[in-house]
Chains A and B, each alone.
Chain A
Amino acid sequence: MRHSARIQVGPVQFRIGSDWRQPIAALETLYAGYPRDDARPADATVRLFAARPWRRWLRPSVHIGGDFVVPDALPLPLSMGLLAAEMGMNLQVALGWRRHLLLHASAVARDGRAVIMSGESGSGKSTLAALLGEGDWRLMGDEFTLVEPASGDALAFPRAVSLKNEAIAEMAARVDAARLGPLLAGTPKGDIRHLIPRADAIAAMHVPARPALILFPRFGGEAAIEPMGEGEAFVRLTEASTNYIALGEAGFAALTRLVRETPAFGITYPDSAAGMALVERLWAEAAR
């Protein structure tokens, strides 16, 4: 393809090809601080392309393709090319990755132990992880957490954090503007702006962490903590995994071990400060 980039996030090496320069340039800025190994063959290929040649210039619209595609996925305008790239990369991992149990969850770590946060979009799991990652936690990822079947360890996937709507202003007030990508206004997912994780989080992206807590955050309502049984945590995490079924017995073993060895809680919180306080409180109890 005309333009391309190679990006390494956690254990995955991506090759991203594009008919346009802009999405590649935007990716290269966001991922400039990530470790690079250009000789390494790609695990996954993403293609951003125009459905018809003239659509490269005339009302350019970006179709998302790659090794794995979602049939009938709608294209995005070129101004949202970065979002298209992000969606394409997520798709390859969600549908193609088999080395680890893949959880749709954010995670942060401290002292080699991880807090895994799983929830629907809108639960605030990304924002919580991003905020904690600005304090004395290592951000492991805002979208995927990988569980190594053999060891039970959590592995990081610290892609650029996808901040949405209110979270954008909340983070912009705290971090250096150089760590924020361009504002993508009015996307199908609302306003989006990417946050580059802290350099220490990126440098530690290959360092595994032992799961210490599994949280199921829910934004809105009074602050509350609800202990969750192994069975419920198990079922919720099977739903949060895109490759649990494909991994067969190895996936089952990894997930049962995770919920047996790791305490799980549902948390409800009215605002970010309260959410972070709940995480710290549960962490202090778990560490005891």
Chain B
Amino acid sequence: MSAIDTLVGLLAGRIDAASLAPRDWDGVISVARAEAMLATLAHHLREADLPPPVAALFADQRAAAQVAKDQALWEAEMARRALAPEGIEFVLLKGTAYAAGGLPCSAGRQIGDLDILVLAHDIRRAENELLEAGWEWVKSDPYDDFYYREHMHELPPLIHKARDRMIDVHHTILPKTHRVTPDALALVGDAVTTASGFAILNREDMACHCAAHMLADGDLQGGLRNLWDFHFLTRDFAAADTGFWGRLDARADLHGLRGAVHRAARLARDLYGAELPSGWDRQDARDVWYRRRLLARDDWGRPTNFMLQQAFYIRSHWMRMPPTMLAKHLWTKWRKR
């Protein structure tokens, strides 16, 4: 069995950690690192029977993830101190939101940049306040800057000059030019507040955003981690609220994300063993390509299946922008190489 299959099997609970030969861990650790899931795996196997060197490495990963989580929440606090005095409300997204909400999927989850969502009419003010509070532009070229402002769902990334941490300020969750236009006003309007006082998306919107981020806005790089988020989020939400799947359906319809959300649910079932209600538990012949893309990694952690990766890369651009714009964009990018 390949290392990536073993990783997924361990996460799904299909494979018992004690059944692995010591050297099987080489590949599992490498692919988990490549998928930014080593600390997630370390949390998942906290109680498992592991070879001592693996147990020690996993303990390191859990401790490091705790520090990283505290640092990410501190960044959120810094953003609040910059924006709250001006009355600019923002909603935390992705990893930082899961951590702020104390959600189980945040255990060991790698958090990269701070992602926040503000109302579109607040975005210029948010930008100014952040610049005054010490964030600055990551050096980029004028075309990229123009492209972000004109067509994207977020400002060009800002980095804090003292803390060296990036912030992505979004005004919606998919590019403006994308074929699908989620209801950004509803996302912000229906956000909920955590015990620590941060706004995060409500349960259904959080699942919608997770699916959109994975399946509608990228080439599935890091997809296994996003799928794990989706699996854990929906599993826990459904356990706490029997009407969750029905409400998720309705909310996905509102945002135009029904296809992405259903596909994410099926992939979570196929890879991580998620249990789905009847209306969701279907088959789709195209899912096989997604599964292959998600598992395209060899035992040394290297990406494999180059053609399939390219296909998903092209697909991500195809969804993001109309054909003439895509042609223009690729032409500009190519000339800059």
| A residues adjacent to B (C-beta < 8 A) | 1, 13, 15, 17, 39-43, 45, 47, 49, 65-68, 96-99, 246-250
Contact = CB atoms under 8 A, between A and B. Distances in A.
A42 B68 contact: no
A99 B55 CA distance: 12
B300 A41 contact: no
A119 B248 CA distance: 58
A17 B51 contact: no
A67 B34 contact: yes
A247 B66 CA distance: 10
Given A67-B30, A246-B68, A41 B60 contact: no
Interface string B25-55: 1100110011000000000000000010110
Nearest to B67: A248
B95 interface: no
Contacts of A246: 64, 67-68
Contacts of B57: 43
Given A41-B53, A99-B60, A67 B301 contact: yes
Contacts of B325: none
B67 A40 contact: no
Contact of B300 (A39, A47, A98): A47
Contact of B23 (A39, A66, A249): A39
Contacts of B68: 246
A91 to B, nearest CB: 13
Contacts of A40: 22, 51, 53
9 contacts: A1-B300, A40-B22, A41-B25, A41-B53, A42-B25, A43-B53, A49-B302, A98-B61, A246-B67
A249 B23 CA distance: 33
B109 to A, nearest CB: 16
Contacts of A45: 26, 29-30, 33, 300-301
Contact of A98 (B24, B25, B30, B60): B60
A41 B71 CA distance: 30
Contacts, number: 63
B332 to A, nearest CB: 22
A257 B30 CA distance: 34
* B: interface residue count bin: 20 to 34
Contacts of A49: 302
Contacts of A39: 22-23
A67 B299 CA distance: 12
Interface in B284-321: 300-302
B21 to A, nearest CB: 9
A81 B24 CA distance: 27
A285 B63 CA distance: 39
B150 interface: no
A51 to B, nearest CB: 12
B291 to A, nearest CB: 24
Contacts of A248: 67, 70-71
Interface string B266-293: 0000000000000000000000000000
A94 B24 CA distance: 25
B56 interface: yes
A99 B62 CA distance: 11
B67 A249 contact: yes
Nearest to B61: A98
B224 to A, nearest CB: 16
A206 B57 CA distance: 17
B158 to A, nearest CB: 19
Given A13-B53, A67-B301, A42 B63 contact: no
Contacts of B51: 40-41
Nearest to B164: A245
B243 to A, nearest CB: 41
Contacts of A97: 60
